[in-house]
């Protein structure tokens, strides 16, 4: 039985694992993608994440189209899903077809709604900080979308801690809800957000949605897979070579625990402050169904300490992490 959690300070209930769809189209066929979304609902996963730029064809929103055609099959699919997508990326060759101007936000929302075959987006996320657009403009555009019922909640992605503070203070001045989530790079090897982003999310009540929880598969039993003859991507192979001593200890630690490394890495994130739901980005049905094991793994304080020693983070929140 899936135990749902609140997304940050909101009353919105989501599954503690979020189905990432970036592989839908480039690596998973449309029939396979549809089957995985059906299976996700069967498993109780109701939180789906996408972006208008996913699909690797500029301006086409290939992944959103795949999801939209799945929604169009009916059967309560859209009603069951908490749908998250993103705005910022380049959707055309003209100057206002990217970033967070009010004009682009309006155009991007309409494009996503059309491709997704829906009349609203549950969580609309800024894919990156836009340093050239004032928050007054961004929030005014979002207020209109919320009033129109086209967007319900707003989130960020790849923001610094001070961006989160700046955004939510500007929203507060307008009596607007502001950001409710932050989607950020976070895993055992990438822990920089513990300095500033995690404390900002805790203070402002944002739920953290970690992306790349397995660091591109490096934390998912990469050494064992290499021994079995399964090739990693070039980028992942560089990380495997860089972190090989740690990974050898890591995979042995997981083996002693009797668990698969990918499940342990996801479970560790679920034990971290402010984390709502790590994003799982399956290419296959086996990867999707296997992820559920992470929800059952619990760590003792001693085990968490051992993982901190193996994969040391920045030392906690700033400034104590580097000063007094």
Summarised one tens digit per residue, pLDDT across range 14-65 is 999 999 999 999 999 999 999 999 999 999 999 999 999 999 999 999 999 9
Q: Say whether 54 is catalytic.
A: yes
- Per the DSSP assignment, residues forming a β-bridge with 5 are 14
For residue 55, the 8-state DSSP code is T
Q: Domain spans of the chain?
A: 14-310
pLDDT recorded at residue 225: 83
Q: What is the DSSP string of 8-42?
A: TTSS-EE-SSEEE-TTBTTTB-HHHHHHHHHHHHH
Single out the catalytic residue among 4, 54, 186, 322. Answer: 54
Is residue 80 pLDDT above 90, yes or no?
yes
Residues contacting 191, CB < 8 A, separation 6+: 311, 313, 314
**pLDDT score, position 196:** 98
The single residue listed with the structure tokens 């890495």 is 265
Q: What is the C-alpha to C-alpha distance for residues 181 and 171, in angstroms, rounded to an integer?
A: 14
**The pair of three-digit structure tokens given for residue 169, joined into one six-digit string:** 């203070």
CB atoms < 10 A from the CB of 130, how many? 20
Residue with tokens 């799945």: 70
The answer to whether the bond into 86 is cis (omega within 30° of 0) is no
Name the CATH topology of 14-310: TIM Barrel (3.20.20)
Q: Output the pTM of the full model.
A: 0.97
Summary mean pLDDT of the chain: 97
d(CA 34, CA 41): 11
């Amino acid at each position: 039985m899936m135990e749902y959690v609140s997304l940050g300070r909101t009353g919105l209930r989501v599954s503690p694992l979020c189905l990432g769809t970036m592989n839908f189209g480039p690596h998973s066929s449309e029939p396979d993608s549809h089957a995985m979304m059906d299976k996700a609902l069967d498993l109780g996963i109701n939180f789906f994440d996408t972006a208008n730029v996913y699909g690797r064809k500029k301006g086409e929103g290939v992944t959103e189209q795949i999801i939209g055609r799945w929604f169009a099959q009916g059967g309560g699919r859209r009603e069951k899903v908490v749908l998250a997508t993103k705005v910022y990326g380049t959707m055309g060759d003209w100057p206002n077809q990217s970033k967070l101007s009010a004009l682009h936000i309006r155009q991007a929302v309409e494009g996503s709604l059309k491709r997704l075959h829906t009349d609203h987006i549950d969580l609309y996320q800024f894919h990156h900080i836009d340093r050239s657009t004032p928050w007054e403009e961004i929030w005014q555009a979002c207020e209109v979308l919320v009033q129109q019922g086209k967007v319900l909640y707003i989130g960020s992605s790849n923001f610094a801690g001070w961006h989160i503070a700046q955004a939510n203070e500007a929203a507060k001045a307008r009596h607007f809800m502001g950001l409710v989530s932050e989607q950020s790079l976070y895993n055992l090897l990438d822990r920089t957000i513990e300095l500033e982003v995690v404390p900002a999310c805790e203070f402002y009540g944002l739920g953290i949605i970690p992306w790349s929880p397995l660091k591109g598969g490096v934390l998912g039993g990469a050494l064992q897979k290499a021994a079995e003859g399964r090739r990693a991507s070039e980028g992942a192979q560089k990380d495997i070579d860089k972190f090989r001593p740690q990974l050898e200890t890591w995979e042995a630690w997981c083996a002693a625990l009797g668990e698969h490394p990918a499940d342990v890495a996801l479970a560790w994130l679920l034990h971290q402050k402010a984390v709502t739901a790590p994003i799982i980005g399956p290419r296959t049905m086996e990867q999707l169904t296997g992820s559920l094991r992470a929800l059952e793994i619990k760590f003792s304080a001693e085990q968490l300490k051992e993982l901190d020693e193996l994969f040391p983070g920045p030392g906690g929140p700033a400034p104590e992490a580097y000063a007094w």
